[in-house]
A and B are shown apart, each in its own frame.
Chain A
Amino acid sequence: MSLLSVRDLTVTYDTQRGPVRAVDGLDLDVPAGSITGLVGESGCGKSTLGRALMGVLPDRGKIAAGEVIFEGQDLQTFSASARRALRWRRMAFIPQTAMNALDPVQRLSAQMAEILIERGGLSGREATARSSELFRLVGLDPARLAAYPHHFSGGMRQRASIALALALNPSLVIADEPVTALDVIVQRQVLDVLRELQARLQLSMILVTHDMAVVAYACDRVAVMYAGQIVEAGLAAEVLERPLHPYTMGLTHAFPDVHDSQMSLVPIEGSPPDLHTPPPGCRFAARCPFADARCNNEPPPSRPFGPDHLVACWHAEDATTLRGRAADPQTWAAIA
């Protein structure tokens, strides 16, 4: 059974131009003990989804419909305080700007103690011991607990915020772009920390990123998000090797590969739809080289292909031929 299961989730923001559905009828399952990569381009709603799951949406955002089942319980039925009690203890969040989200004027030991004592009910002494343990866990020297965040490099701050998230042994950690602003070497080190902790503590993790290579390196599973919806989800090996959705196919050709000098990158032309007025059919249709009349008019439902692979595309049956065509830059250039 899934640790987390999201059904038909819709999150709206109130804006001057009216409500915008940043997450729109989204389904997602996160099995226990896995790292799920959530990929998609800027503005597709990754952070919104993460925040909605944690119950920490900004003021103008609200869950308009759907349910979030976590450890068998529907979180929508929880009171605000019950929800709060869950945070940190059962599920933890590493916000997108974690590096800057640490309190700059408090020592890390104090920030750690605040969570451990106030949220976790530990004694001062226990908190100190646990803080040191957590720092060691993420590969930081416990002697540096007395430091302020600005004494740390970007990678170290990211590790510290991971340590904070793990403070109360949550079973689910949602990490919003934990490596985006980091150098490759530091990125690799942080990903290794996450992978190792996941294996050691049997955590589940949602790792938000926009980099397919990060997914390939660190995740067991992947969910590809486009314009507020999951368009493809499944085992990372499966989705990356045999993508069924044209958008995923496009993404796999959009990254250069260090070991391949022959490849030519294929941009996905155009830009995502305005979420104030989403198109009636498939949201990707305007950028999709394979779109036909049905794509433009009817939204494709999410359908299973194989044991653990979901896709929302009318042409998923033809994926094998489409993959071949998607590798050709001319196919995508026609959209521009």
Chain B
Amino acid sequence: MTALLQAEGLQKTFHSRGREVHAVQNVSLSVSPGEALGIVGESGCGKTTTARMLLRLEEPSAGRIMFDGADITNAHGRHLIAYRARAQLVFQNPFDALNPRFTIRRSLTEPLRNFAIPVSEHQDRIESVMRRVRLVPAESWLDRRPHELSGGQLQRVVLARALISGPSLIVADEPVSMLDVSVRAGILNVLRDARDSLGLAALYISHDLALIRYVCEQTIVMYLGRIVEQGPTAELISRPAHPYTRALVAAVPVARVEQNREGLPIRGSLSDAPPDPSGCLFRNRCPSVMPRCATEAPTLRTIAPGRMVACHLEGAM
């Protein structure tokens, strides 16, 4: 199966106050049509930067992005617009994602207008997308402004705006982390449902593995800008290979009283200065660190069909 979205060797280095921040280093990934891929990792590990590069909102320092067989790394003008119509973004903060002066109708019409969809289709499209995100009857919502809606309702509008141009790929960056618990499930279900019935490919970003588990069949784990492990979500959670993934899985609380409360298999914190990049970047926090980890940077290697890990541990599983 050919990939819908494919990235090779993505790299992003920020220069802030004379310092170089290697936000993303050598990230390669691919998403097939209709597939959902999750990216997990601690705050600051480069998830958002990766997503923004994939959507051409941030220029990669190096690397290549292919979409549906075409190289879009440097697409601009008409080609970029065409790409945008097919690759959409769901924002993290629904309270900030809609122009506060625009009515819902106007916010939904913006993409239709920009992507040159005939005016005769607008009304139908708006109504069908509002049905999909379960804001019905559409007419009772369309003339409101964002401040008249709750967080969950706003996020549904944001979703509607992303779906209205009929994209093939949706990128959702922490789509529910700012929402109330009781409405999270609703948004996740709408996302899941849109994927199933429209055959959308999706890229979910979250630091919550439980959420990723709910929506993604494939998962990438990032640490300090690099991919440390990837594979089918269920396997990755039941048999994590990388020591960092193990810590991540162990840290997720579950809503049951009996659960693992042992100390986490990880030391220190992310804010400890990362070690010099000649070896493994995780070695100062790794419980299984070996001498080799300080001298040789582990590269991603295949350990089972579809599973890759960047760690020197032999019996990584």
A/B contact in complex, CB under 8 angstroms: yes
Residues of A whose CB lies within 8 Å of any CB of B are 41-42, 152-156, 183-189, 191-192, 195, 210-218, 236-237, 240-241, 250-261, 263-269, 271, 336
- Closest chain B CB from A168 CB (angstroms): 27
- Which residues of B are interface residues toward A (Cβ below 8 A)? 42-43, 134, 150-152, 180-186, 188-189, 207-211, 213-214, 233-234, 237-238, 247-257, 259, 261, 263-264, 266, 269-271
Given A153-B270, A187-B251, A187-B253, 12 other A-B residues pairs in contact with their CB atoms under 8 A: A156-B271, A184-B208, A185-B270, A210-B180, A213-B254, A241-B257, A251-B182, A254-B185, A255-B185, A263-B214, A267-B182, A267-B185
Residue of B nearest to A219 (CB): B257
In the assembled complex, 17 residue pairs joining A and B whose CB atoms fall closer than 8 Å, in A order, are A184-B207, A184-B208, A185-B247, A192-B264, A195-B261, A211-B181, A213-B253, A216-B257, A217-B254, A236-B257, A240-B257, A251-B182, A257-B255, A265-B184, A267-B189, A269-B186, A271-B150
- B213: chain A residues within 8 A (beta carbon): 256-258, 260-261
Q: Which of A185, A188, A250, A251 has the most CB of B within 10 A?
A: A185
In the docked arrangement, what's the CA distance between A156 and B183, Å?
30
Docked complex Cα distance between A253 and B185 (Å) = 9
| B189, B251, B263, B269: the one within 8 Å of A156 (CB) | B269
Which listed residue (A41, A191, A260) contacts B181, Cβ 8 A?
A: A41
B253: contacting residue among A155, A214, A252, CB under 8 A: A214
Chain B minimum-CB-distance residue to A237? B257
**In the complex with contacts A185-B266, A188-B264, A217-B253 CB distance below 8 A:** yes
Q: Specify the chain B residue showing the minimal Cβ separation from A214.
A: B253
Closest residue of chain A to B256 (Cβ to Cβ) is A216
On chain B, the residues within 8 Å of A254 by CB distance are: 181-182, 184-185
Cβ–Cβ < 8 Å partners of B42 in chain A: 183, 185-186
Total cross-chain contacts (CB, 8 A):
134
A266 touches B185 (CB 8 A): yes
The CA of A185 and the CA of B270, in the complex, are separated in Å by 10
Report the minimum CB–CB distance from A55 to chain B (whole Å).
28
Bound: A261/B264 CA distance, A: 23
> Once bound together, how far apart are the Cα atoms of A317 and B88, in whole Å?
49
Q: Choose from B183, B184, B255 the contact partner of A216 (Cβ within 8 Å).
A: B255
Residue of B nearest to A265 (CB): B185
Q: Is the CB of B182 within 8 A of A261?
A: no
Taking a contact as CB atoms under 8 Å apart, the answer to whether A184 and B181 are in contact is no
Question: Which of A185, A251, A266 lies in contact with B264, CB distance below 8 A?
Answer: A185
A336 touches B134 (CB 8 A): yes
Contacts A185-B42, A216-B259, A257-B210 given; does A267 touch B183 at CB 8 Å: yes
